[in-house]
Structure 1
Amino acid sequence: MQLTETVSGVLSDRIVSLSESQTIAMAKKARELVAKGIDVINLSFGEPDFQTPQYIKDAAKQAIDDGFTFYTPVAGYPELRQAIADKLKRDNNLDYKPENIVVSTGAKQAIANAVMCLVNPGDEVLIFSPYWVSYEEIVKLAEGIPVQVVGKIENNYKVTAQQLEDAITSNTKLVMYSSPCNPTGSVFTKEELEAFARILEKHPQVHIIADEIYEYINFSGKHHSMAGFDFIKDRVITVNGFSKGYAMTGWRVGYLAASKEIADACDKMQSQITSGTCSIAQKAAVGALKGGKESAEMMTEAYKRRRDLVLDLLKEIPEIKTYVPEGAFYIFPDVSAFFGKSWEDYQINDSMDLSMFLLNDANVALVSGDAFGASQCIRFSFAASDEKLTEAMKRIKTSLAKLA
């Protein structure tokens, strides 16, 4: 949604041209229907349906009792930055010191910090597409030029090394991608990442933001990091956080790991916008890292089962073109077979029309693929109970059968 109904000249061009996050917008519409007493199944939001593990809550309670109620260092408590550095070494074999870590109010802020610190007006930013909704808008805020590099469903939506090489120009400043990917769930292998790294090695002006927020929700085996290749490590900004793997969405704690030059710049940027992240949430994050990955592994097993359930149910709708996501908790099917169809007053011209039809007719909230750079798709989140997913797929099948 854009602010097009404002008085001319009151608001900045920056905010008028900025799009609202469609995931948040769809969730808002779903809540409006729920407020009217309608039973809506919300599969639009990228949020675990699990409670934050108790040992993390206990760490937060202890922090309150111990008096951690004051301003925090901009880049995060030293204890948390050290714990993150230890985690990166343990899980990813990446050598970082606390001075390379900046803790932010969610991974989104970490990404925004990095983009604002690297991109000048007119710089091109290559975004692997489909992409997370905020990448393009953050680049626009930095006055950069977003350039989509589009992966095909036949390759699980993964961009190839040749596509990356073909897209780089003398104006390219940054590459952005996520793995596991939101919205597709695709996961890059070590070999695929190395192929990207070898290409980027030839372009020293290009930095890379590797969004690894779904690292622990991986069904394909070991997670691999672009920063694992030493010959480009200093140009990689690794972004991660606690929302997905630890079911800590409301705690708002994310972080980046980068060269000291970039980390210092992000510290400087953040100091003028939000300062340090919530003290209690940071202490909870320390507890999360010290508590291991058992809860994350349990949740991942549940997500894998739910993925398989949804894929089986979608097979009953042959017009929907699917694939097998290897991580995260989304499936991003091609629904273009329904474009041009209609039912009563509903005319389906694109995925936004289809998502609104399913919200109002099936009472299932999904997100249009336009938000992710793929207008032929719709994003389903399977971060919901088996019962809700089964009912949602039943409703969707019934509603789609009405279209002709």
Structure 2
Amino acid sequence: MLELRSRIEEVTTRILKLAAARVKLASELGRVKRELGLSVYDPRRELELAKAAVKVADEARVPREFALEVLAVLLSQGRRAQGFTLEEAESPFYSLVRQASTVNNAIRLDIGETCFTPPREALEAAVKSIERGEFRYTPAAGLPDVRARVAELLSERLGVDLKAENVALTPGAKMGVYASMAALAGLGSRVLVFKPSWPAFTEIAARLKAITIEVERRIEEDWSITEVPEADFTIVCSPDNPTGRALSRDELEHIAEKAEEHNAVLLSDETYGWLSFREHSSVLQAGCSKAVYVTSLSKAFGMTGFRAGVVVSSPSMVEKIAKVQSLAVTCVPPFIQRAAAAALETKADEQNKRKLRRLLEVAEAELASAPLRYYRPDGGLYLFPEVMVEEFTGTEFSRRLLHEGKVAVAPGSGFGAEYSRYLRITYSVGEETLKAGLAKLRDALDQYSWSRSNGKQASKVL
């Protein structure tokens, strides 16, 4: 036994010395990248390393999960040695939002807020719940009768058969996504994200020290998903944030087939499904055994401040997700749960969808003469245009538009580094606010120009 322990210590020491050598190499690589003006973070290279790790694991007859966990730690330390950490890096999107909150009277076309008000039935349900004394803890997944009613309502709307044990109430969709990923993914898990995407997906994966696999989509292909590489946890969003692209039934079934083939969890964020201008296809209809459906009442029902969301999955997966939620936030307040169920009883989302379609028409009319191209949204709250101006940089333009014009739009690079020529524009605000903001945006784009004299920027946004 002593000999075995000695050999284990020797091997452990050798591993640590090799890891230290790798960190030094990563530090040198970071210096070279900075000199060349390259990004430290290289998801394509990390995907290649993940494939290599799986191959080595198979050859050495050790679990793939173990090899990927080791790789995840090495990648994290390698990024840190290069002066960059995914966990601490601030997305250009969140940076702009933070700046916009400090600008008085800014027109906010950067965040996913709406001009809708909550259904009267939801407000009344919350008040009555409080008056009945429902202000104590509930089970982590929610009140049993609320879960049962939400299951019934979603079954009717989506054409599926759900029971109470398939449902958990969450404080918004973001917590639903986080709790699902924390419960079902983790250190070394390969998380597949289709870019451009909501930045929270990759940031949560980074916090969990998962290995993010990014697949770039292109406007020339109508933002379609053409590649579904092997992963442990696949994330889709439909209609999509930021592009507004909705997945068809065939597309969703293809992705579900790949998830089944890879024994992967398939999480579908369908927060904007209520606001789809075409027939909505849900992951719950796609025949995936490890499907996780996430939605929220924030957008379609005008309830952003309520923090009311829903997760639907198999009973065993819901139990794991609820366990994570219990450790983080305990439960959704009971009166919020009652309000959520009451909102789902209404057709407020249909009324709000009609308003949203009108606002989209207003936005398109206001931007008709602007140098933009975009995919006309299938639903959701956003336009994601590419700016057809030479050497356009969305981050700089957004910053100057905010501080000089008091209009906030989100830079496209916040949704993927490849989309620096794009902007995300929220069109779900009041019509007059929308017209005023887009008029300033249009004028700024018309005046936007660059000069390379002396290598200095000489543009004027407004």
- Interval containing the TM-score (normalised by the shorter chain): 0.7 to 0.9
* Structure 2: segments with no counterpart, 5+ residues: 1-82, 450-462
Out of 156, 161, 177, which is 2:236 matched to? Answer: 177
Report the equivalent of 1:328. 380
What is the alpha-carbon distance in structure 2 between the residues aligned to residue 74 and residue 114 of structure 1? 14
Report the Cα distance in structure 2 between the residues aligned to 1:53 and 1:19, rounded to whole angstroms. 38
Deviations 1:170-193 (A, max 9, x none): xx2011010011111111111221
Residues 74 and 310 of structure 1: CA distance in aligned 2, closer, same or farther (over 3 Å): same
Q: Distance in 2 between matches of 1:156 and 1:389?
A: 25
Does structure 2 conserve the Cα–Cα contact (< 8 Å) formed by 1:18 and 1:137? no
Mapping of residues 129-148 of structure 1, within 5 Å: 129-148=195-214
Alignment counterpart, residue 360 of structure 1, candidates 392, 396, 403: 403
Name the structure 1 match of 2:274.
216
| C-alpha distance in 2 between matches for 1:128 and 1:24 | 19
Asked if 1:372 is matched to 2:415, the reply is yes
1:278-312 CA-partner distances (Å, limit 9, x unpaired): 1221111121122x22x211111111111122122
Provide the C-alpha distance between the structure 1 equivalents of 2:91 and 2:119, rounded to a whole number of angstroms.
28
What is the 5 A alignment of 1:3-402?
17-20=87-90, 23-34=93-104, 39-160=105-226, 163-164=227-228, 167-168=229-230, 172-203=231-262, 205-220=263-278, 222-230=279-287, 232=288, 234-290=289-345, 292-293=346-347, 295-317=348-370, 319-335=371-387, 337-339=389-391, 350-373=393-416, 374-402=419-447
Q: Deviations over 1:252-299 (max 9, x none)?
A: 011211112211111211121111111221111121122x22x21111
Whether the aligned pair in 2 keeps the contact of 1:156 and 1:325 (CA below 8 Å) is: no
Alpha-carbon separation, structure 1, partners of 2:222 and 2:302: 26
Which amino acid is the alignment partner of residue 237 of structure 1?
V
Cα deviations by residue, 1:87-134 (Å, 9 ceiling, x for unpaired): 221011222221121111111111111111122322211111111120
SS at match of 2:274: coil
CA contact 1:27–1:42 (8 Å) conserved in 2 = no
Q: In the alignment, is the contact (CA less than 8 A) between 1:131 and 1:182 conserved in 2?
A: yes
Taking every aligned residue pair, what percent have the same amino acid on both sides? 28
CA contact (8 A) 1:102 1:257 kept: yes
Query: Shift of the alpha carbon at 1:201?
Result: 3.0
Distance in 1, Cα, partners of 2:93 & 2:234: 23
User: What is the match of residue 3 of structure 1?
Assistant: none
- Cα distance in 1 between the residues matched to 2:292 and 2:405: 41
Distance in 2, Cα, partners of 1:273 & 1:384: 32
Q: TM-score, normalised by structure 2?
A: 0.75
SS in structure 2 opposite 1:401?
helix
Tell me, in whole angstroms, the C-alpha distance in 2 between the residues paired with 1:149 and 1:376.
Answer: 18
Query: What is the CA-CA distance between 1:16 and the residue it aligns to?
Result: 8.1
For structure 1, which runs of at least 5 residues remain unmatched after alignment? 1-12, 341-349
Compute the displacement of 1:21 (Å): 5.9
In structure 2, the residue matched to 1:343 is none
One-letter amino acid matched to 1:275:
T
Judge conservation of contact 1:214–1:245 (CA < 8 Å) in 2: yes
Alpha-carbon spacing, 1:110–1:303, altered in 2? closer, same or farther (3 Å): same
Task: Give, in whole Å, the separation in 2 of the partners of 1:338 and 1:262.
Answer: 49
User: Match of 1:17, SS?
Assistant: coil
| Deviates most, 20-29 or 303-312 | 20-29
Give the secondary structure class of the aligned counterpart of 1:367: strand
SS in 2 for 1:376: coil
**Contact 1:336 1:377 (8 Å CA) reproduced:** no
Q: Distance in 2 between matches of 1:362 and 1:57?
A: 37
User: Using the alignment, how far apart are the partners of 2:315 and 2:241 within structure 1?
Assistant: 28
Amino acid at match of 1:186: R
Rounded Cα–Cα distance in structure 2 between residues aligned with 1:21 and 1:59: 38
Decide whether the 8 Å contact of 1:139 with 1:145 is kept in 2. yes
Aligned residue-pair number? 365
Q: Say whether the 8 Å CA contact 2:234–2:259 is kept in structure 1.
A: no
Q: Which amino acid aligns with 2:368?
A: K
**Whose Rg is larger?**
2
Letter in 1 for 2:102: E
Following superposition, the deviation at residue 15 of structure 1 comes to 8.8
Partners of 1:32 and 1:120 in 2: CA distance: 36
TM-score normalised over the length of structure 1? 0.86
One-letter code aligned to 1:389: L
Task: Say which SS state the counterpart of residue 439 (structure 2) adopts.
Answer: helix
Measure the CA separation in 1 of the matches of 2:168 and 2:388.
Answer: 42
SS in 2 for 1:379: strand
Structure 1 residues 17 and 402: CA distance shift in structure 2, 3 A: same
